[in-house]
Structure 1
Amino acid sequence: MTRKHIPGILAMAAIVVASNILVQFLFGQWLTWGAFTYPLAFLVTDLMNRLYGPGPARQVVFAGFIVGVFCSLIGTQIMGEFGPLVTFRIAIGSGLAFLTAQLLDVAIFDRLRQGKWWRAPLASTLVGSSVDTALFFTIAFSAGLTFIEPDNDVSWAGEALPLLGFGPQAPLWVSLAVADWLVKLGLALVALIPFRMIVSRAAGNTTMA
């Protein structure tokens, strides 16, 4: 790690901390405010990968993971209305989903880096985001994984409701996951704009130097 990697590490840390705080606040029926900040982690990872390569990108991912673990430990000590703000299942799901999805993002981006400028960030973010959502919500709320934390009652998440309020019957946690995934997909497209601008500016500065 060098000094030029520090902005990426600080940005990732800020996103992880902000997301852990904002996930406590609802946005509508299916989302929290954290759903709109967390996907920016993929933008940071992709920028580090494009500008400095997969090695520094992984370092930023591991830094974000450590910050996330620290946030989870703090969350387990803060009691909310229904118990600790962060349960063991949520901590496991969050950490495993983050690390797996981000490292997958790094690998896919690196494989596609020689193609059109948008292909690597878009493909890696779409795949990484999908894996992230599937892992987190399944581990944290699926009835089939109650053995992870038997004392944690997540029966509320299994309540059968119309998907997103209008689709076929599905457990509540599936609607939460789909809503989260749709936000990630939308932000993956929007993030291409700052990605292009930052990379182009960095390339211009390198040329002038």
Structure 2
Amino acid sequence: MSARSKLPFTIYLLGATIFSLVTAEFMVAGMMPALAAAFSVSLGEVGNLIAFYALGMALGGPPVTLLLLARGISSKHALVGLLAVYVLAGALAAAAPSYAILAVARIIMGVSSAACIGLCMTLCAAMVAREDRGRAVSVVLAGLMLSPVAGVPMTAWIEQHHGWRASSLAVVGLALICTLLAAMRLPTAGAGGEAKLGHQLKTLRTRRLWGAYLTSGLIIGATFAAFSYCTPILIEEVGLAPGQVAPMLALYGIANLIGNMVVGRFADSHTFGVLGLGLAMMVLLMSVFALAGDQLWLNLSCFIAIGLTGVALNPAMVARVMKAAEPGALVNTLHTSVITAGLAFGSWAGGAAIEAGFGLRAPLWVGAAIALLGLLSVIRPFAARRVAASPCT
């Protein structure tokens, strides 16, 4: 009842930090023509700027976190330092005189972003009681949910009125404010109190942890196998006008937010049940969407309903990881990398299905298949837990 008011301000600060990081990752999608014209490159090369950021996240985050742990740097100081690197790289990207420099800046931003997100999760877990972790994580991850709903449209609007450099600087400015507030407001007592590097490396040998990682990667892979191609599906298959896509994406984003908050309420107490139900919904909804034909109401209903699952399952995904291992910086950063790898794989697999000639709705079937694998990855450990919890006869 009154517990809702007990989440500290710093939890919301961490959510704003993740909002700025994820907005910077996807803002390129909203200003592709402007960047292509500015650097005289193709739209495909502009699209690679998102891939460069994701590559930095997937491959660079864990080594940076290992280095920080080896040097015994506290979570707070590591986060503030990496955010400072991120701000400098973002400023370089905003001022980049060439495509090559912009690409390098984006890679550096991705590396620091992955480590920052992992550290945000670690600090979040340390600042609240164990039973409140799911709710706190849902608030922090609301920043991730809000970025496509509010962040990307905001940066696109700024680009249209003031240019892409102003749009990039706006995100850098938000990240700078978060950096300064983090330096002033994050608690220093107990910072860096997480397990030493040797213990965290030992934790990574836990099968339960890698099972949790696998499920997370499959959930995000299934989501982005379908979502990456939602615009052409909605226009060419469903029959929406191009101007109607943005409102539908906004409704999808609102569904993400609602799903995130609902999942956050039950993530700690019913982790496996929430994951299983969410994945089963993904399999069903993506399959029905793929078969919906020209039924407009059914197509749009499925599309919006899918938003209640997928990325919205993040609090349960994080809760499962935190139950499998102590939520140290390395554990959380690796989780971020696995999620990013799942995103890249799902997007590639959906595109490969289209390229193979299976049609524009093929990514929906790919997403349903990956979600089914995710459901299978949850059923076995859930059943094992139920057997272990049942009284001996």
Higher strand residue share: 1
Place the TM-score, normalised by the shorter chain, in its bin.
Answer: 0.3 to 0.5
Task: Give the structure with higher Rg (CA).
Answer: 2
State the structure with bigger RCO (CA 8 A, min sep 6), 1 or 2.
2
Length-normalised TM-score, structure 1: 0.41
Higher helix residue share: 2
